[in-house]
Amino acid sequence: MVSDKGMKGLNLGAVARRVGLVPSALYRHFQNKDGMIDALLELIESRLVANVVAVRQETDDPLLALELLLRRHVRLIRENAGIPRIVFSEEVYGAKSQRKYRVHDLLRRYLGRVAEFFRESQQAGTVRTDLSPDELSVMFLGLVQPAAILWHVSDGGFDVTRQAEKAWGVFSEAIKNGEDKGPEAGRASPATREN
Protein backbone atom coordinates (compact mmCIF):
# COMPACT_ATOMS: atom_id res chain seq x y z
CA MET A 1 0.00 0.00 0.00
CA VAL A 2 2.78 2.43 0.85
CA SER A 3 4.54 1.57 -2.40
CA ASP A 4 1.52 2.66 -4.35
CA LYS A 5 0.12 5.59 -2.47
CA GLY A 6 2.77 6.58 0.01
CA MET A 7 2.16 7.06 3.68
CA LYS A 8 -0.87 9.14 2.81
CA GLY A 9 -2.52 6.03 1.46
CA LEU A 10 -1.89 4.28 4.72
CA ASN A 11 -5.02 5.33 6.55
CA LEU A 12 -7.05 3.07 8.75
CA GLY A 13 -9.90 2.91 6.28
CA ALA A 14 -7.71 1.65 3.48
CA VAL A 15 -5.88 -0.79 5.70
CA ALA A 16 -9.15 -2.16 7.03
CA ARG A 17 -10.51 -2.61 3.53
CA ARG A 18 -7.34 -4.35 2.51
CA VAL A 19 -7.61 -6.94 5.25
CA GLY A 20 -11.36 -7.25 4.91
CA LEU A 21 -12.31 -5.53 8.12
CA VAL A 22 -13.90 -2.34 9.25
CA PRO A 23 -11.69 0.49 10.56
CA SER A 24 -12.72 0.18 14.17
CA ALA A 25 -11.86 -3.52 14.16
CA LEU A 26 -8.19 -2.67 13.75
CA TYR A 27 -8.21 -1.39 17.30
CA ARG A 28 -8.60 -5.00 18.41
CA HIS A 29 -5.11 -5.65 17.09
CA PHE A 30 -3.24 -2.40 17.54
CA GLN A 31 -3.52 0.21 20.22
CA ASN A 32 -3.72 2.93 17.61
CA LYS A 33 -2.19 3.98 14.33
CA ASP A 34 1.14 4.72 15.94
CA GLY A 35 1.19 1.18 17.18
CA MET A 36 0.69 -0.03 13.65
CA ILE A 37 3.60 2.01 12.38
CA ASP A 38 5.78 0.78 15.21
CA ALA A 39 4.97 -2.76 14.17
CA LEU A 40 5.88 -1.86 10.61
CA LEU A 41 9.25 -0.57 11.69
CA GLU A 42 9.92 -3.76 13.59
CA LEU A 43 9.04 -5.75 10.51
CA ILE A 44 11.39 -3.68 8.40
CA GLU A 45 14.22 -4.06 10.85
CA SER A 46 13.73 -7.80 10.88
CA ARG A 47 14.06 -7.85 7.09
CA LEU A 48 17.27 -5.87 7.22
CA VAL A 49 18.69 -8.09 9.91
CA ALA A 50 17.65 -11.18 7.96
CA ASN A 51 19.81 -9.98 5.09
CA VAL A 52 22.80 -9.57 7.35
CA VAL A 53 22.33 -13.02 8.81
CA ALA A 54 21.92 -14.53 5.36
CA VAL A 55 25.14 -13.14 3.92
CA ARG A 56 27.00 -14.23 7.03
CA GLN A 57 26.07 -17.77 6.16
CA GLU A 58 26.87 -17.39 2.50
CA THR A 59 30.50 -16.47 2.92
CA ASP A 60 33.30 -16.07 5.41
CA ASP A 61 34.93 -13.23 3.53
CA PRO A 62 33.57 -10.04 5.14
CA LEU A 63 34.25 -7.91 2.08
CA LEU A 64 32.42 -10.33 -0.17
CA ALA A 65 29.64 -10.42 2.41
CA LEU A 66 29.24 -6.68 2.05
CA GLU A 67 28.93 -6.99 -1.69
CA LEU A 68 26.26 -9.63 -1.28
CA LEU A 69 24.54 -7.52 1.34
CA LEU A 70 24.47 -4.59 -1.04
CA ARG A 71 22.81 -6.75 -3.69
CA ARG A 72 20.26 -8.02 -1.22
CA HIS A 73 19.61 -4.51 -0.02
CA VAL A 74 18.94 -3.34 -3.55
CA ARG A 75 16.65 -6.26 -4.16
CA LEU A 76 14.80 -5.65 -0.92
CA ILE A 77 13.99 -2.05 -1.67
CA ARG A 78 13.23 -2.81 -5.30
CA GLU A 79 10.69 -5.41 -4.29
CA ASN A 80 9.38 -3.42 -1.35
CA ALA A 81 9.52 0.12 -2.54
CA GLY A 82 7.52 1.09 0.50
CA ILE A 83 10.37 0.47 2.90
CA PRO A 84 12.37 3.63 2.25
CA ARG A 85 9.16 5.60 2.10
CA ILE A 86 8.19 4.39 5.54
CA VAL A 87 11.59 4.85 7.12
CA PHE A 88 12.08 8.33 5.75
CA SER A 89 8.51 9.49 6.05
CA GLU A 90 7.39 12.38 8.14
CA GLU A 91 5.06 10.21 10.16
CA VAL A 92 8.06 8.33 11.32
CA TYR A 93 10.88 10.74 11.76
CA GLY A 94 8.86 13.88 11.69
CA ALA A 95 7.49 15.66 14.68
CA LYS A 96 7.21 13.07 17.44
CA SER A 97 10.66 12.71 18.88
CA GLN A 98 10.02 9.25 20.27
CA ARG A 99 9.49 7.68 16.87
CA LYS A 100 12.40 9.60 15.43
CA TYR A 101 14.72 7.98 17.90
CA ARG A 102 13.30 4.61 17.01
CA VAL A 103 14.41 5.15 13.43
CA HIS A 104 17.71 6.45 14.66
CA ASP A 105 18.24 3.25 16.62
CA LEU A 106 17.13 1.13 13.70
CA LEU A 107 19.63 2.76 11.39
CA ARG A 108 22.38 2.65 13.98
CA ARG A 109 21.84 -1.02 14.63
CA TYR A 110 21.89 -1.81 10.94
CA LEU A 111 24.91 0.33 10.27
CA GLY A 112 26.54 -1.19 13.31
CA ARG A 113 26.29 -4.60 11.73
CA VAL A 114 27.64 -3.26 8.47
CA ALA A 115 30.51 -1.65 10.36
CA GLU A 116 31.26 -5.03 11.87
CA PHE A 117 32.04 -6.42 8.44
CA PHE A 118 34.40 -3.55 7.80
CA ARG A 119 36.10 -4.09 11.12
CA GLU A 120 36.64 -7.73 10.30
CA SER A 121 38.00 -6.84 6.89
CA GLN A 122 40.42 -4.44 8.46
CA GLN A 123 41.57 -7.05 10.91
CA ALA A 124 42.02 -9.48 8.05
CA GLY A 125 44.12 -6.83 6.37
CA THR A 126 41.98 -6.49 3.25
CA VAL A 127 40.72 -2.97 3.96
CA ARG A 128 42.57 0.24 4.72
CA THR A 129 42.68 1.05 8.40
CA ASP A 130 42.86 4.81 8.08
CA LEU A 131 39.07 4.94 7.84
CA SER A 132 36.87 4.00 10.74
CA PRO A 133 34.33 1.21 10.29
CA ASP A 134 31.57 3.62 11.24
CA GLU A 135 32.53 6.06 8.53
CA LEU A 136 32.77 3.23 6.05
CA SER A 137 29.32 1.98 6.95
CA VAL A 138 27.78 5.36 6.23
CA MET A 139 29.54 5.47 2.89
CA PHE A 140 28.20 2.00 2.23
CA LEU A 141 24.68 3.29 2.76
CA GLY A 142 25.46 6.07 0.30
CA LEU A 143 26.05 3.54 -2.44
CA VAL A 144 22.35 2.79 -2.80
CA GLN A 145 20.39 5.53 -1.18
CA PRO A 146 20.53 8.22 -3.86
CA ALA A 147 20.03 5.60 -6.53
CA ALA A 148 16.94 4.36 -4.75
CA ILE A 149 15.48 7.83 -4.63
CA LEU A 150 16.14 8.44 -8.30
CA TRP A 151 14.61 5.09 -9.07
CA HIS A 152 11.52 6.05 -7.17
CA VAL A 153 10.98 9.54 -8.54
CA SER A 154 11.66 8.27 -12.04
CA ASP A 155 8.92 5.66 -11.63
CA GLY A 156 11.32 2.76 -11.97
CA GLY A 157 13.09 4.23 -14.98
CA PHE A 158 16.42 4.47 -13.23
CA ASP A 159 18.61 1.40 -13.01
CA VAL A 160 19.39 1.09 -9.29
CA THR A 161 21.05 -2.26 -9.64
CA ARG A 162 23.52 -1.07 -12.23
CA GLN A 163 24.29 2.11 -10.35
CA ALA A 164 24.84 0.19 -7.13
CA GLU A 165 27.19 -2.24 -8.86
CA LYS A 166 29.22 0.58 -10.36
CA ALA A 167 29.37 2.44 -7.09
CA TRP A 168 30.44 -0.69 -5.26
CA GLY A 169 33.16 -1.22 -7.82
CA VAL A 170 34.63 2.21 -7.22
CA PHE A 171 34.15 2.07 -3.48
CA SER A 172 35.54 -1.39 -2.89
CA GLU A 173 38.62 -0.69 -4.99
CA ALA A 174 39.16 2.54 -3.12
CA ILE A 175 39.08 1.00 0.32
CA LYS A 176 41.06 -2.11 -0.46
CA ASN A 177 44.36 -2.35 1.25
CA GLY A 178 46.81 -2.19 -1.62
CA GLU A 179 50.23 -0.65 -0.93
CA ASP A 180 50.26 0.69 -4.48
CA LYS A 181 47.24 2.89 -4.03
CA GLY A 182 47.17 6.65 -4.44
CA PRO A 183 49.94 9.22 -3.89
CA GLU A 184 49.32 10.38 -0.33
CA ALA A 185 45.99 8.81 0.54
CA GLY A 186 46.85 5.15 0.59
CA ARG A 187 49.28 5.06 3.43
CA ALA A 188 47.14 2.50 5.14
CA SER A 189 48.27 0.19 7.88
CA PRO A 190 51.49 1.86 8.94
CA ALA A 191 51.71 0.46 12.43
CA THR A 192 48.09 0.47 13.45
CA ARG A 193 47.23 -3.00 12.29
CA GLU A 194 46.35 -5.43 14.99
CA ASN A 195 46.15 -8.60 13.02
Partner DNA sequence: CTCTGTTGCGAATATACATTCACATGGTTT
Partner DNA sequence: AAACCATGTGAATGTATATTCGCAACAGAG
Which residue, 191, 87, 188, 72, is CA-closest to 130?
Answer: 188
Told to check if 15 binds a copy of itself by CB under 8 A, we report: no
Q: How many residues of this chain bind a copy of itself (CB under 8 A)?
A: 52
What is the C-alpha separation between 147 and 164, in angstroms, rounded? 7
Choose one: 22-30, 53-61, 62-70, 149-157; the region binding a copy of itself (CB under 8 A): 149-157
Question: Looking at the chain, how many residues does it have?
Answer: 195
Among 110, 117, 118, 171, binds a copy of itself (CB under 8 A): 171
Determine the Cα angle at 112 with ends 44 and 63, to 5°: 100
At 27, give phi and psi (nearest 5°): -70, -5
Q: Alpha-carbon torsion 66, 67, 70, 76, what sign?
A: negative
Told to check if 13 binds DNA by CB under 7 A, we report: yes
Among 146, 156, 187, 193, binds a copy of itself (CB under 8 A): 146
Interacting residue ranges for a copy of itself, rule: CB under 8 A: 5-9, 85, 88-90, 93-95, 97, 100-101, 103-104, 107, 131, 135, 138-139, 141-147, 149-150, 152-155, 163, 166-167, 169-171, 173-176, 178, 180-183, 185-186
